[in-house]
Amino acid sequence: PGTAEPTARDPSADGVAPENPPAEPNVAPPASPAEPPDAAQPAAGVQPPARVDAPGSDAAALLAELLEPLSGRPNAPPLAAADAQLYVRPLPLLEALERSGDRTRRLWIAQAYWKVSTAHALVRCVTEAIERLDLIAPGADPHDRATLDVAAAAARADLADARAHLGAAQQELVDLARLPPGEPLPWPVDRPLAGPYQTHFEAIFASRIATGRVRAIARTLPARHEALESRTAAVRAAAKAMAMAEADHAKGKRPIEAVIAAHAALVGQQREFLQATRSYNLDIAEYAMAVADATVPDDRFVSMLIGTPIQWRPQPAVAAPPPSPAAAE
């Protein structure tokens, strides 16, 4: 028997959409249904939920730094062969949704998109960690060299794990969005939200029934954002501590173990920051899906997640030139 198509999330049922739904064969998307005149939307005069772009937000600035391509860094070394294809196929979120041709998949696609985005950032973090370790000069004591070798080998293992995690997340997105299998793996170019999110819960659900899960998301999103801001401060502090430890070690004032510990603390805080970013945006996507059902157009749904999404429209097919008279003969 064939696998059943995923259905729209039942607004009367509690629970979370699975993070790893079964992938389906890559088939041509069906034609989008016509928009009904009474598409679901918040009541008149009620603002839909929306992200808030916060100018000067350090969390947004840090996220932008971590999502920049590896090749775009000043004085960046050449990309490793495994990373050469990471940024070949830019994919806006709107394109991922529209290519699927199935609005019942929107929650899964949006969540998969943010997983790939944060996985890209983690690859950058662990790549930079290896580069930093390569710049540490061990002392004359052979123990220093051995200690540094342990840290370098562990960092290379972290990078291999991050690449594997990214590849699995990319394939999940490819399957859900029904992208052509021959294309390079996707690089999400829309950024997750790092600023506050306005749910407008009381207004939107004044005359609608909200599930327990939706209520929980509305209550906890401010706390998730607070955690994101605090993780940002922790990353900045860890980077400063690592720079101080490296400077002291170069002057012979601090052992190499202190440098490696500071290095590990920075990588750990970067991981926690990206995990907080992912959790925050997965919840936002689930909340938006509870507000906007499958009758809401994709571009409007995306605008609930991204203030200024990258626009995408299918490119018209280019007609083949007519054969020349000589060829016709």
Res 218: pLDDT: 96
The residue type found at 42 is P
- Give the tokens for residue 329: 């003969």
The residue type found at 261 is A
**CA–CA gap between residue 178 and residue 91 (Å, rounded):** 13
User: How many CA atoms, within 13 angstroms, populate the side-chain half-sphere of residue 153?
Assistant: 6
Res 252: pLDDT: 87
Res 314: pLDDT: 58
Q: What's the Cα-to-Cα distance from 310 to each of 8, 95, 116, 247, 302, rounded to whole Å?
A: 25, 9, 17, 42, 10
Q: What pTM does this model have? A: 0.78
pLDDT average per 10 residues of sequence, the chain (329 residues): 39 42 40 36 51 70 93 75 85 94 92 97 95 86 91 96 97 95 93 93 92 96 96 97 93 91 97 97 95 88 80 49 48
For each of the domains in the chain, give its residue range(s) and CATH number, in order of start. Answer: 87-306 (1.20.1600.10)
DSSP 231-256: HHHHHHHHHHHHHHHHHHHHTTSS-H
Res 175: pLDDT: 96
Q: Is 117 exposed, middle or buried (0-12, 13-18, 19+ CB in 10 A)?
A: buried
- For the chain, where are the alpha helices, taking DSSP H only? 58-67, 93-100, 106-134, 142-177, 201-204, 212-250, 256-291, 298-303, 325-328
- Give the tokens for residue 149: 């070798």
User: How many CA atoms, within 13 angstroms, populate the side-chain half-sphere of residue 317?
Assistant: 3
Cβ neighbours of 272 (radius 10 Å): 16
Res 32: pLDDT: 37
Query: Which residue, among 71, 70, 173, has the nearest Cα to 122 in the 3D structure?
Result: 70
Cβ neighbours of 98 (radius 10 Å): 21
**CA–CA gap between residue 248 and residue 225 (Å, rounded):** 35
**CA–CA gap between residue 275 and residue 118 (Å, rounded):** 8
Res 55: pLDDT: 56
Q: Is 322 exposed, middle or buried (0-12, 13-18, 19+ CB in 10 A)?
A: exposed
**CA–CA gap between residue 160 and residue 153 (Å, rounded):** 11
